Structure 1
Amino acid sequence: MSSQLEHALKQLKTSGVRMTPQRHAILSFMLKTHTHPSVDDIFKALGDQFPNMSVATIYNNLKVFLEAGLVRELTFGDGASRFDANVDEHYHAICDDCGKIVDFHSPPLYQIEEIASEKTGFIVKHHRMEVHGTCQQCSEA
């Protein structure tokens, strides 16, 4: 078991969340994937392992993980929420052709909240940036 999963399980247990096999599978899947899955993506990925698990079960468990700070919900304008278990500061590059989402870091941008606060007087809570283009696989096709 990965240390990230162990840490997440401990955090949930400390906050009184009971660990079910479905919850464990959803959490493990989220921590292993880098694809920013939707609820439907998770449902399809775990359907063979848990044929009686509903989309509502997945959504309810993701809500528990959101409240615990273990995942973040992302919306990219296509109407479908996607979920990311990487809760560290980072940004997303999105392929306009295939929809692939790739994480990237940009240390100079991490100071943007402080700069915005200084220039506007706002108490800045968070920011979001995404870039759009064509991924390497699509541009080579």
Structure 2
Amino acid sequence: MVTKPDITKRQEQLLEELNKCDDELSGQELHRQLIIDGKSMGLTTVYRNLQVLIKHGLIRSRHLPTGEVLYTPVDRDIHHVTCVQCGTTSKMEGCPVKDINTPNKKPKKFQLLFHTLEYFGICQNCDQSQSKNQI
């Protein structure tokens, strides 16, 4: 059984904002949303607390080819395909690894919280642009 770690009020505010959103948010987007909601928090404090929430296993992060990092709660089983040329990202339908059986022998003192899966490639627009430039 997973026990929820003790988190601060600021960390709880970040979790609430992430749970309100249907998609992922960057640290800057979270910062802006907190300001809009009247919950002032410095940008550095936002990023510091996001790292704590990751270490607690409550949120996950995804790094885009642009260097931007997006955050979402771990209970969302969302996976993406990302174009390495233009950075366009699309959600995948379903989870291809959801039904894979985890090993019966789990390492001692290890509790699986979540998994990540991401595909990288060339989107249709970039592929067509490449084809036109080669002619």
Return the TM-score normalized by structure 1. 0.57
Query: 1:17 corresponds to which letter in structure 2?
Result: I
Tell me the amino acid that sits aligned with residue 83 of structure 1.
Y
1:83-124: CA deviation from partner (whole Å, max 9, x where unpaired): 12144554214478784542532346754998xxxxxxxxxx
Residue 27 of structure 1: SS of its match in structure 2? helix
Deviations 1:3-23 (A, max 9, x none): xxxxx9x71xxx3333x1x33
User: Do 1:69 and 1:87's aligned partners in 2 also have CA atoms closer than 8 Å?
Assistant: no
Residues 1:32 and 2:7 are matched in the alignment: no
The match for 1:60 among 42, 48, 69 is: 48
Q: What are the ranges of 5 or more consecutive residues in structure 2 without an aligned counterpart?
A: 104-114, 125-135
Residue 7 (structure 2) aligns with = 17
1:130 aligns with 2:101: no
Residue identity matched to 1:16? D
- 1:24 CA displacement: 2.5
Q: Give the direction of change, closer, same or farther, for the CA distance of 1:51–1:79 in structure 2 (3 Å limit).
A: same
Kindly indicate whether residue 94 of structure 2 is the aligned counterpart of residue 75 of structure 1.
Answer: no
Report the secondary structure of 2:6's partner residue.
Answer: coil
Aligned pairs, number: 110
Q: Specify the structure having the higher radius of gyration (Cα).
A: 2
Q: CA deviation at 1:44?
A: 1.4
Question: Is the 8 Å Cα contact of residues 89 and 110 (structure 1) preserved in structure 2?
Answer: no
- Classify the secondary structure of the residue corresponding to 2:17: helix
SS of 2:7's partner is: coil
Structure 1: gaps spanning 5 or more residues: 1-7, 115-125, 135-141
1:44 lines up with 2:17 in the alignment: no
User: Percent identity, aligned pairs only?
Assistant: 16
- Cα pair distance change 1:29/1:104, threshold 3 Å: farther
Q: Which structure shows the bigger proportion of residues in helix conformation?
A: 1
Stretch of structure 1 that moved more, 94-103 or 79-88: 94-103
